[in-house]
Structure 1
Amino acid sequence: MRTFFQGITHFYRNLRLQTKLTITHLVIVTIPMVAIPVLFFTQLYDMIVADTVRKEQEAAIQTAPMIEETVADILAVHGTLTEHEFYSKLINPARVEDLEVFADSEEAKGFRKEAESLAGDGLIRDIRLYMDIPDDGEIFSDSALSPLAEPMDRIRRTYWYGIFAGEPSTSRLFCPSFYLGTYEKSTYGDMAYITRGRTLYEGRWVTFYLAVYFSQEHLDELLKNNMSSNSSVAYIINNRDSMVATTDIALSGTYHFSYDVVLESVMSSNNFISKNILGEDVYAGFNRIRNTDWYMVVAVPSEPLIQKSRIFIGLFGLVYLGCILASFMIATLLSRSLTNRLSAVIDQMSKCRLGLPAALPDSDAQDEIGDLVDSYNYMTHIIHDLVEEQAKAAEDLRIVEFNSLQAQMNPHFLYNTMDMINWLSQQGRSQEVTMAVQKLSRFYKLTLSRKQSLSTIQDELEHVSIYVELLNMRFADNIDFIADMPDCLMERPIPKLTFQPVVENCILHGIMEKEEKEGTIVLTGWEEENGIVILISDDGVGIEPDILENILVEKKNRAKSSGTNIAVYNTHRRLQLMYGVEYGLKYSSTPGEGTEVEIRIP
Structure 2
Amino acid sequence: MKNFFQNIKKRYLNLPIQAKLTISHLIILSIPVIIVGIFFVFRMYDMVVSETISREQNKTLSVAPTIEKEVDKILQFEKQLKDSTYFEKLTSSQRTESLRTLSFSEDAKEFSNLIEDMQSSTLIKKVKLYINEPPREKDYIVGPLYDNLTLAAEARGSYWHGIFSGTPTTTSLMCPPFYLSSLEKEHYGNAAYITKFTIKQDGVSYQGFLALYFSQDFFDELLKTSLASEDNSAYLINSRDSVVASSQSSGAGAYYFNYDEINEYFTSSNNFIPKTVAGKEVYAAFYNVKGVDWYLVIALPAGPMLTHSYQLVLGMFLIYLFFVLIVFWFANRLSHSLTSRITAVSEEMKRAKSNLPVALPPPTAIDEVGVMIDSYNHMTETINNLMESQMKTAEELRIAEFNSLQAQINPHFLYNTMEMINWLAQQGKQEEVSQAIIKLSRYYKLTLSKKKSFSTLSEELEHVTTYVELQNMRFHDTIELVIDVPEELLDYTIPKLTLQPVIENAVLHGILEKECKTGTLVITAWREEEEIIILVSDDGVGMDEETLKEIYSQDKAGPSKGSNIAVYNTHRRLQILYGETSGLVYRSEIGVGTEVEIHIATSGEETN
TM-score (norm. length: structure 1): 0.45
Point out which structure has higher relative CO (alpha carbons under 8 A, 6+ apart).
Answer: 1
